[in-house]
């Protein structure tokens, strides 16, 4: 077990992980023909969203990205309702040729109404990776795409070539991944949960992971991403537990049109039983009251908190070998990596 001087598991903050990507972003920004512009749309007066907006501004200023914060709804005036004007602000940013990326500070309404807003953001400017096109690619383990596919409204079943390494084949680029799930994966790569000796796309094989929360913004995409990388994943929500794996119980067909990707099925295990066998436990429950019981954790596991409130008990490091209390600084670097991608596509004539 990795321990600090007190004999407890290691407390690992996101800073050293984020620093590994800072130079990469700086290099990408230096190759842009002009300083890219990121528009943040804040539609509520919620403290977490305001904090994240200010954090985004600070990171952009440090790296040389032009950041424009548009405050609408209750963020602009207490006389306006939450979310009022958000849709219009998204459309205006979509149509503005000087805007390279758009991010919206969720939650606004929650549920389906927020999902609707996510689909209004142009996939050519969706640096958060929340558009259904990117979710489709994630769920189907499609890692590289032709940029022109982002302008089509039709999803096809055209066979895709399996990825052999992290380098896009000629004429393709990486499909954008949701920033928080990708940030968590980068944290797990940093601490060695991913095995670099294994084949690309299968480097989490042999690991069992529990993800608590199955929202479409974080929990479900993260569970699918980990399963597509080879892990056995328990996806836990308030009323059910599902198991995700890309290794089906039956033999796959000799030939198949779709890439191997995660499948889900109900699990009969309880949360306590899932935690007892999990090498990694990730919690994203938006509640200050919710806590993962330390006594249920597997000795030497990795615990990752990605909720605004701490989901683990104070003694989590008595069982966890590594505890990562927040991933926000890595998430914002993932977002800025995505921002660098879109101007690159357009500058090279890959997207009209």
b/e code 41-58 from CB counts within 10 Å (16+ = b): bbbbbbeebbebbeebbe
The residues annotated as belonging to the active site are 179
Helices of type H across 261-327 = 271-276
Nearest to 102 by CA among 43, 47, 143: 43
Residue 253 neighbours by CB distance under 10 Å: 7
First-to-last alpha carbon distance for the chain, in angstroms, is 52
Encoding tokens for residue 13? Answer: 């903050």
To which residue do tokens 């979710």 refer?
A: 135
Measure the CA–CA gap between 253 and 180, rounded to whole angstroms: 34
Residue 41: how many CA atoms within 13 Å on its side-chain side?
Answer: 32
**Bridge partner list, 245:** 263
Q: How far apart are CA 108 and CA 73, in angstroms?
A: 10
């Amino acid at each position: 077990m990795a321990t600090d001087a007190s004999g407890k598991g290691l407390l690992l903050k996101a800073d050293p992980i984020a620093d590994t990507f800072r130079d990469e972003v700086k290099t990408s920004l230096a190759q842009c023909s002009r300083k890219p512009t990121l528009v943040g749309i804040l539609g509520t007066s919620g403290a977490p969203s305001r904090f994240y907006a200010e954090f985004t501004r600070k990171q952009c200023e440090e790296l040389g990205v032009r950041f424009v914060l548009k405050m609408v709804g209750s963020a602009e005036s207490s006389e306006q309702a939450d979310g009022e004007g958000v849709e219009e602000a998204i459309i205006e940013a979509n149509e503005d040729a000087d805007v390279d990326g758009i991010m919206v500070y969720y939650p606004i309404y929650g549920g389906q109404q927020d999902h609707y807003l996510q689909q209004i953001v142009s996939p050519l400017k969706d640096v958060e990776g929340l558009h259904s096109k990117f979710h489709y690619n994630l769920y189907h383990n499609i890692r590289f795409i032709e940029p022109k596919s982002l302008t089509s409204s039709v999803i096809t079943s055209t066979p895709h070539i399996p990825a052999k390494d992290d380098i896009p084949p000629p004429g393709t680029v990486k499909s954008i991944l949701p920033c928080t799930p990708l940030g968590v994966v980068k944290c797990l790569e940093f601490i060695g949960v991913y095995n670099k000796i294994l084949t690309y796309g299968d480097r989490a094989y042999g690991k069992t992971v529990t993800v608590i929360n199955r929202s479409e913004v974080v929990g479900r995409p993260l569970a699918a991403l980990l399963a597509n990388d080879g892990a056995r994943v328990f996806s836990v929500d308030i009323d059910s537990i599902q198991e995700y794996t890309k290794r089906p119980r039956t033999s796959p067909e000799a030939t198949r049109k779709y890439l191997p990707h995660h499948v889900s099925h109900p699990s009969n295990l309880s949360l306590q039983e899932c935690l007892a066998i999990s090498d990694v436990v990730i919690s994203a429950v938006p509640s200050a009251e919710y806590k993962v019981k330390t006594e249920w954790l597997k000795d030497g596991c990795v615990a990752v908190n990605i909720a605004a409130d701490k989901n683990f008990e104070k003694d989590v490091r008595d069982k966890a070998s590594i505890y990562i209390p927040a991933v926000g600084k890595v998430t914002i670097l993932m977002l800025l990596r995505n921002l660098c991608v879109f101007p690159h596509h357009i500058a090279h004539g890959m997207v009209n």
